[in-house]
A and B are shown apart, each in its own frame.
Chain A
Amino acid sequence: MSATLEKGVRVLKEVIDAPIASYFNSCVHCGLCAEACLFYTETGDPKYTPIHKLEPLRRVYEQEYTWLGRLAKAVGLAKPVTDAELHEWQELVYNSCTLCGRCSVVCPVGNDIVYMVRKLREGMSASGNAPDGIKGAANRTVTIGSPMGVKLPAVKAQMKHVEEDYGIPIPLDAEGAEYMVMLSSMEIINFPEYLGAIAKIMRQAGKTWTLCSTAFEATNAGMQIGNSDLARVIVSRIVDGAERLKVKCVISPECGHAYTALRWEGANLIGRPFTFQVKHIIEVLGEFQEQGLLKTEGMETDRLTFHDPCQLARRGGVIQQQRRLMKQIAADFVEMPDAGFMNWCCGGGGGASAIEEGEELRLEAFKKKKSQLEAVKPDRLVTACANCRIVLEEGLEHYQMDIPVIGLTETIAEHIPDSVDKEGA
């Protein structure tokens, strides 16, 4: 057994807990999880059946934690996990799984399959079997500060641009602000309108907010790759920043996995509860809307639909807010089939969009989104995750569908009237 394999198997042994044991013992091979997975439905290849993606983890469980499995191992009847097998499984655990969690909500015996994929990734990463694309993103986040290599000067340059364009000051390191706003690299580089939108929305709501010079990047490729040590380093930066600035609430940007990393995994990664709240920007907007702090003018009149980011909706529990927000600004808001809780992934979540060699499969899986869109024929597609947005744009371009993709936050900000804007200033 190679040293890396040994390390991987040791990590797998560490992550196996009672839920995983219960899940493996419950599976009856009914195959329904396949029907919930867009990588199976769009390719028809049974190897993409979600429970099958866990085969190495299942065998480690059986051989290490069951009496019969240990007996089989002792007499040489058990098939050990090998380097070659883990290498082969990379495609199944990363390229063809976006951690969308649809399988976990359909399994009739109740297996939380995505919970297990997340744990298997720990062993894959420890044994050196994570894809280079996500590895690179994780390493850049740890060493440079962001997966796309964005540093503070780039953020400052964008702050300056936004201040000039909107005439609103962007606070940096303002101690005691109510909200600390996080960004994703994608927003810094590709979608600068997000920061301007936040400035307008916060000014109208009369809330104090700040960016943080030591923690502006919210995405966490450490979590996607399945390396809790790296994920912890990345989350700790945000925790340190939030505690240093004594903010009440950290706002996760329009990015699904950033939200999961910070909201649900963060406290577990650092080993203690947070001293501040974590909310996705859509949750915050939903609260402003409820409190009457979000006043908009005019409506979008073209046909709009909303793509639910998996980590926000099914995996994060934010489902109704985006719909109420859409209704405030869209006169012709239509829902795709399966929208909301059961929405289909864009195909690029969970780090999959960073895997170059997975592109062909990703585009194949995109046919699911294509059929959802064809059912409602929207003029534009709204979402709330910068990664979904990029993946959707790529897919739409590939299939020559002329549907612009926009972010919900900036679309709302466009409807905040200047007059109210000025009153608030």
Chain B
Amino acid sequence: MNELQFLTWVRGPGLDAAVAIFLLGTVWRLIEIYGLGRKKDLAAPRLTPGASGWHTIVRRSVPPEGMFKQSPVTYVGGYVFHIGLAAIVFLFAPHIKLVEGLVGLSWPGLPSQIVDLVSVVTLAAMVVVLVDRIKRPVKRFLSGFEDWFTWAVTFLPVLTGWLAVQHLLLPYTTMLALHILSVEVLLVTLPFTKLFHAFTVFGSRWYNGTVNGHKGVPV
């Protein structure tokens, strides 16, 4: 297989398979998780403004009182790489074109120099959180294969994408093919690892907010 054939494969059957596994896997996992249901809370509720699942979905995006100073690296690193990833995935013009080609939807993107900068900052933030995971006793203690693996499958698409755009290290076609392949690995991995928090984070915050909101506690 030469580079062109490789690129053709990752753009064609490879992408189709990855997207299919991602979509079916996501639906299946959501059913597997939320299909378990929960018992109705029979205690008389106490109504307090601001105490609900929806409030918690929003509120938990901000560090609770006194928490930021406990681990600024986790918070700053976390914000930077999450926002960076979202900006790269959804606001880079070629990505928008891809979506437009697939489903016909389009929206304005960011200038490519800005996306370049965002990519570098995101990669740096991801390296920082990785070092923090290695150095901080609690994070290292909690970490297993999945934690290192999911870091890598998240890091590689950003790295290869940036290298491809910069025409660095490998011929553009090869790097682009590797970039698409790494995205496919990410798509296939996401529903079955901790990366699935991209979906369940909303359910978890909602449950927490609802269960405690029943007691009149805005959490």
Contact = CB atoms under 8 A, between A and B. Distances in A.
A46 B140 CA distance: 9
Interface string A23-35: 1011111111011
A49 B142 contact: yes
A422 interface: no
A108 B219 CA distance: 11
Interface string A91-125: 00000000000001111111110010000000000
B143 interface: yes
Interface string A16-55: 1111111101111111101110001000101101011000
A315 B219 CA distance: 10
Contact of B44 (A17, A112, A267): A267
Interface in A53-72: 65-68
A22 B200 contact: yes
Interface string A255-285: 0000000011111100111100110000000
Given A29-B139, A110-B209, A112-B208, A271 B200 contact: no
Given A21-B36, A105-B219, 8 more contacts: A19-B208, A31-B142, A46-B138, A46-B141, A108-B61, A112-B207, A316-B217, A338-B65
B109 interface: no
B11 interface: no
Nearest to A16: B36
16 contacts: A19-B204, A21-B34, A26-B196, A49-B141, A67-B32, A105-B64, A106-B64, A107-B60, A108-B78, A109-B60, A112-B208, A115-B211, A274-B44, A317-B48, A317-B51, A341-B65
B200 A40 contact: no
Given A110-B207, A316-B215, A317-B217, A21 B60 contact: no
B105 interface: no
Contacts of B32: 21, 65-67
Contacts of B35: 18
Contacts of B46: 317
B194 interface: yes
Contacts of B97: none
A307 interface: no
A44 B136 CA distance: 11
B43 interface: yes
Nearest to A110: B205
B37 interface: yes
Contacts of A315: 215, 217
Contacts, number: 172
A273 B138 contact: no
A177 interface: no
Q: Which of A16, A28, A47 has the most CB of B within 10 A?
A: A28
B2 to A, nearest CB: 36
B153 to A, nearest CB: 14
A342 interface: yes
A232 interface: no
Contact of B192 (A17, A26, A68, A111): A68
A19 B209 CA distance: 11
Interface stretch (B67-75, B84-92, B165-173): B67-75
A110 B138 contact: no
Interface residues of B, number: 60
Given A36-B67, A67-B32, A29 B38 contact: no
A264 B43 contact: yes
Question: Do most interface residues of chain B lie in helix, strand or loop, or is the interface mixed?
Answer: helix
A314 interface: yes
A111 B143 contact: no
A69 to B, nearest CB: 10
Contact of B204 (A67, A68, A109, A267): A109
B66 A338 contact: yes
Contacts of B138: 31, 34, 40, 46, 49
Given A18-B36, A32-B70, A112-B207, A271 B201 contact: no
B52 interface: no
Contacts of B204: 19, 22-23, 25-26, 109-112
Q: Which of A21, A36, A115, A315 has the most CB of B within 10 A?
A: A21
Contacts of A316: 215, 217
A118 to B, nearest CB: 11
A263 B43 contact: yes
Q: Which of A104, A112, A277 has the most CB of B within 10 A?
A: A112
Given A28-B194, A35-B70, A342-B64, A22 B203 contact: yes
A18 B207 contact: yes
Contacts of A23: 204, 207
A350 B166 CA distance: 58
B81 to A, nearest CB: 12
A17 B207 CA distance: 11
B205 to A, nearest CB: 3
Contacts of A67: 28, 32
A268 B34 CA distance: 21
Contacts of A28: 194, 197
Interface in A315-330: 315-317
Nearest to B201: A109
Contact of B43 (A46, A108, A267): A267
B26 to A, nearest CB: 12
B194 A65 contact: no
A206 B68 CA distance: 49
Contacts of B203: 18, 22, 26
Q: Which of B28, B44, B133, B136 has the most CB of A within 10 A?
A: B44
Given A19-B38, A110-B204, A316-B217, A30 B74 contact: yes
Contacts of A266: 43
Contact of A31 (B38, B66, B136): B136
